[in-house]
């Protein structure tokens, strides 16, 4: 890994997405640009070898997407780091893989894992309390349950909680995965082929391009949490694959360079299998978002020239006026019959029987 030049990696922060802006601002304050970056990278590479594989043999794996969405909601709400989210999902996968947990306690496990991961990864002093996270799920659990599960998680991992994740390596590489040579080649490509400007935007400067691609790199790193086939790959390899995928979808002429091999210690042949999965998932997410937007727009009103769609969306009803003759309606007020006593009912029944006996006698 080469030492990144500080003066060449200054971000132009965007104010459109505040959460992404906070993430990138956090990167500029980290130790990745310090003199110890190479030693930190080597230590993280050694630490990732101690990660235990996840077998994904549990029958509760169908609940994992819901728990992942819950952890992502808590992360965005309290502005936790991506590293905390990735580390919490690693804890959660290990626990689900080893234990069979009651369905009504799965959210309790997920929030506890996120709370522990936030205490490790978040450099800020603010870490949400259990009571604050519990309000987002309608106070489903008690403080005693959180503490009991926290002790269980700590003893399960034997207090060996420091593990690098894909987000950890991505944050390290995000400051230096793009060079000014890449920016020059990108601009030259758009100048030689103006038709590419339809799909790929033009950037005013290198810093703007670096900030935009860094935001996309951080989002693509979250895709690795959803692709189960990549769960047991080394996080450093997944981070390098995210870099290659980001460069590919953004239209940079060279997806991989010797500089990136020296930066990440991986060659293009090593990252290529993972890149294919990540790129396919990225386009799937983009297509899904476009379809949802089109469905939302079409559910309001169709275009004026689409008569068939208008009939489907809003059926047209013809109002027919019919002339009817007037009739005189006579209302008759009926007198309500009073309730009879039991004696009267009994006398009526006796009279009917007597009449029936007389008729039979005559016959």
Backbone phi, psi, residue 215, to 5°: -60, -45
Query: Residue 139's pLDDT band (boundaries 50, 70, 90)?
Result: confident
Q: Is 294 exposed, middle or buried (0-12, 13-18, 19+ CB in 10 A)?
A: exposed
Query: Which residues, 6+ apart, have CB-to-CB distance to 334 below 8 Å?
Result: none
Q: What is the mean pLDDT of the chain?
A: 79
pTM above 0.75, yes or no: no
Q: Rounded to the nearest 5 degrees, what angle is found at the Cα of 55, between the Cα atoms of 52 and 60?
A: 120
Architecture of domain 52-162: Orthogonal Bundle (1.10)
Q: Is 363 exposed, middle or buried (0-12, 13-18, 19+ CB in 10 A)?
A: exposed
Q: CA 147 to CA 110: how far, in whole Å?
A: 13
The ranges of the chain annotated as CATH 1.10.472.10 are: 52-162
Query: Closest Cα to residue 23, out of 216, 218, 176, 172?
Result: 218
Q: CA 295 to CA 284: how far, in whole Å?
A: 16
Q: CA 50 to CA 201: how far, in whole Å?
A: 42
Query: DSSP code of 103?
Result: G
Report the percentage of the chain scoring pLDDT > 90.
Answer: 47
For 146-160, write each residue's pLDDT tens digit.
999 999 999 999 998
């Amino acid at each position: 890994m080469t030492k990144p030049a500080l003066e060449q990696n200054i971000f132009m922060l965007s104010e459109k997405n505040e959460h992404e802006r906070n993430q990138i601002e956090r990167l500029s304050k980290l130790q990745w640009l310090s003199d110890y970056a190479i030693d930190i990278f080597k230590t993280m590479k050694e630490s990732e070898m101690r990660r235990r594989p996840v077998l994904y043999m549990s029958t509760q794996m169908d609940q994992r997407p819901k728990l992942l969405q819950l952890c992502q909601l808590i992360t965005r709400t309290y502005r936790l780091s991506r590293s905390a989210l990735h580390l919490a999902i690693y804890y959660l996968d290990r626990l689900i893989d080893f234990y069979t947990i009651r369905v009504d306690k799965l959210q309790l496990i997920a929030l506890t894992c996120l709370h522990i991961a936030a205490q490790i990864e978040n450099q800020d002093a603010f870490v949400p309390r259990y009571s604050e996270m519990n309000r987002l799920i309608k106070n489903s659990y008690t403080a005693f349950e959180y503490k009991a599960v926290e002790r269980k998680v700590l003893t399960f991992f034997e207090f060996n909680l420091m593990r690098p994740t894909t987000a950890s390596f991505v944050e390290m590489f995000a400051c230096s995965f793009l060079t000014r040579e890449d920016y020059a080649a990108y601009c030259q490509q758009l100048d030689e082929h103006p038709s590419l400007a339809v799909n790929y935007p033009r950037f005013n400067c290198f810093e703007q391009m670096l900030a935009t691609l860094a935001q996309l790199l951080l989002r693509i790193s979250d895709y690795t949490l959803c692709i189960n086939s990549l769960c047991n790959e080394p996080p450093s390899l997944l981070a390098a694959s995210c870099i290659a995928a980001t460069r590919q979808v953004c239209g940079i002429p060279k997806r991989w360079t010797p500089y990136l091999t020296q930066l990440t210690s991986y060659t293009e042949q090593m990252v290529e299998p993972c890149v294919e999965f990540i790129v396919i998932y990225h386009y799937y997410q983009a297509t899904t978002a476009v379809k949802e937007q089109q469905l939302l727009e079409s559910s309001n009103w169709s275009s004026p020239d689409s008569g068939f769609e208008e009939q489907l969306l809003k059926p047209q009803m013809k109002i027919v006026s019919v002339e009817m003759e007037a009739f005189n309606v006579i209302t008759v007020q009926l007198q309500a019959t009073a309730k009879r006593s039991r004696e009267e009912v009994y006398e009526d029944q006796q009279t009917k029987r007597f009449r029936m006996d007389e008729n039979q006698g005559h016959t």
